[in-house]
Structure 1
């Protein structure tokens, strides 16, 4: 935004007055670039694409209604000041109109425009600053959590934040356990006064060091050095404490965090890493694998060479593993168990490498007290994909079972010497089971999928549509269908987790499809549970911004019969969607009777009729009813050219069916824009 150039949209202002305004701005030291809008079809794109700084609207001269202009700005959620030129005394400034001025007061108009321009300039700068501040705070939090140093922040002698390394050094499993605890309570009594003096001596730009003895949670004591430096957390002045030994090296990173025999992360640290992966996925959003390496005949080896000898074997295994995966994340989970988190590798490729490792391990010799020891390994591999994973402990149990199964199948006195993939048993989606359990099982088995069917206009509309329906891969005769799963969850009236999954996956697919020509909207079938989800509208706004999609992309479709049972929240939800810029659609058999009353109250953008295309009388009456209430009609089941020809005479707005295109997993219909 240039501070001396403003861009304006002019409604109802002729060329002479526009030139006079431009001259007035020039005298005040500003350049005004303006675009005149004189028709409805141009208004939406001008507001969206021209990125104006203000709107100057002459109420008498404009062919467009002021309310239409204000609605268009509100639907796109733009911060765009509107100055109305009018002699009407009833028109007053409000939350949508910044000022109302006489049409002939050019100088006053220009100064009012500049006032609103600078107010907008300030708001935009403030918003950008807030975003930068939030990003900086996020980076600071990430730096704290990912730091290789043990760090805590102290205010008025109380710990207000710490990272995991600091907590582990003090003997705590969770940094939250240290929040609001006096720092001196962690220090041996003989060192407390020195630490208090050091904390009080901290001033801006200066730092201090002090050596103390930390009393760990398990009763043990550990000596460390503390580096104290002034800092700020959430706008509050505080002291940053970094644990360092007397040589200046970081303390805490190796206390309870490293297995010194192998150099791998300790069991606790590795399980924490694995929990992060199960919760948030792998860095970079790619797929990978979790590998569990188990030393065969561990108890026999321990009896033969002792714990020290097994340590030498463990060190040899670590060397072997790192030669194959130098950039992986490692952990020693137990004396005989080693975990590996692999990025950017398929489970099949990981399996091939694991088999090579097993073969190499069988040929290696470790010398322990002049004894030549051979060992073998059993390795289990589990794919890490975008599908939600089980808890870290469950993953470990699953791969331990894989290793045990390898040994059982080999039948060679506990020598597995092999690798295998963990395969989750396919869950039967019985309709009698709890719907939420069915949803979780289907998602875990990667059986949920979305189908897209084009909805084609019989007129020259400015937007294309696909209807989105839920389907299940490899569905068997006695299993629940995607539609039945939605209705079962709807009957429970609680969860919207599946609805959110559908919205996220559908918008992802649309973003990937990169449709050309006219904009594309998705008619997404959901449960009426969303009417009671107060957080969904705001979540929807965030999801659309993340996908870089306009709210007009979404049309959320519901069953009219289910909507009738919760009409009041449905009306409120429909209004929220309109304010957001999205829309609502309904499915009705005939758009008559009670259904028509619901349609009147919700005012849906589209109504999909369930009546057969062959039932022309019912359809004719339904189309007439919908035209009266201002809802566009979608007729399904168009399976032949003859059916389409019949429907032409009834003049519905949209049709869909197998003759147009059957539902597909891709948005690949050619709407013929070119």
Structure 2
């Protein structure tokens, strides 16, 4: 995963832009800060800090137009942990020292003392990093606690916090486990009253031996528990020292254990079954695909989820719920018979592979399973007319993604929002393309490939942060036999549908690398961005092709940036994580284009080690007059910066947008306002 940026954003309060630039030059030279914003007064200071994400404040108290008293008052009112450093002329020192301390400023620095400023900023930067690290650890701790609680809910485990043998907090599952209707009843009951007498000694030893000073020490015991109604059950107890509301205590997790029919042996339910089932499903998918990721046996993959089972477990208990799931599994296997390969891949989910089935057959099978695959009658907790399972499916043809991506796609269709009344995932109807037009365009593509009628054009990607590298986005054009020029939008769709896109991508890659070699030999500091289609990056030989071209023209990988479209990245994360890793091994850089279309773009930054994100052109349209777009752009640029990923805004069409982009801390811009795509590699004035 990429490392978040380690450089803070500095807010400089001064009325003179040149003074802000001078201070930043001093700090950049000392490698203390790279990004800054400047404001002339304390007006809306709180809003600026909240919206711009500032980490340090530098106030130029010697500026005649800056009202220091107003700044200090506004800062004190904020009650923020963002440090303020006040710069002052020597003659102001005595006057401002007391005021600055009372307002909470971290330091007072003389105007003509750059060394003091560097030391002060260095100290605050160290504190800033420590606060960020502590905040990240706290967030991770809370996430771990939430995940643990969710896990215990799913597995039927009960959680309690105990001090001196008395309950101080329990969850609802713990109360139900011991036969109580509310947690208050359990809180009034000593722990030993819930344990069979034969295990009292072991529990007393546990309570005496627990040491809050060693939080990592955990104890595992198998005990017999007794419910309020005097019935007993076997449980596995995990005990570990903890804290509750600042007080040391013991955290207990009780996991029920099922007994064998004769009561002779205690056996745990087969928990690895889901992992083993997933492995088997992956192996079955792999058997349909060759080494080139070509599908040798077309198939449909179904994900079948028992939607009601969590309600059943909540109302009828874990053990009964698991029994009902096993019966459902047998029913499902009987229904499918020899028609396909079925595997249980999670507690409530099944994967199904069916060979040689078309869209109509897949729809019919999904409808049949919805109608007939039912939980046993005693599990009815909702309207019986509603199917017990949800089904998502799609057909796998031609070239395939990694098996994990195929399973993930079926799962997403299953749990998504697009369902028919029968619960089967709906598939968007394909757009109808005129067959004659498709054939004509396909013939033009083939002619251009055979007769060198393809051409590259370039659009500059210009740095807002002073990067001296010359970055260009590569675009493809095609001349047909009548010398008519076609843009990519006129033929790329047909190339994908007609299976010609890989040939176009390979031609583009080789030609672009050849151009890099020529321009580098001529002394130009050139780097090119090239887009890869889904079919091309699924081909495992693509990276080998790139390597061969780099060797052929003696070009370094870091002069080449491979772009992937966000809409196809989402469904191919498993495949792409390996591809990105391989591209980085040959030093190529990786970018995602049309970034920000998904609801959770941070997921992509966490999953893939990216170098650039290119934001959607739509964000740049009318940007100067659209506050919602400005806020969204600021969020995306800040998110990229946190992961140490450079941001590029594409589709820039007017000069007013540049001011917004620079203020938001965007790294690069691209668009027709700056320069339209051209056959020459020169930035035009």
Q: Which one has the largest radius of gyration?
A: 1
Shorter-chain TM-score above 0.5: no
Q: Under a length normalisation based on structure 2, what TM-score does the superposition of the two structures give?
A: 0.35
Q: Under a length normalisation based on structure 1, what TM-score does the superposition of the two structures give?
A: 0.36
Instruction: Answer 1 or 2: higher relative contact order, Cα 8 Å, separation at least 6.
Output: 2
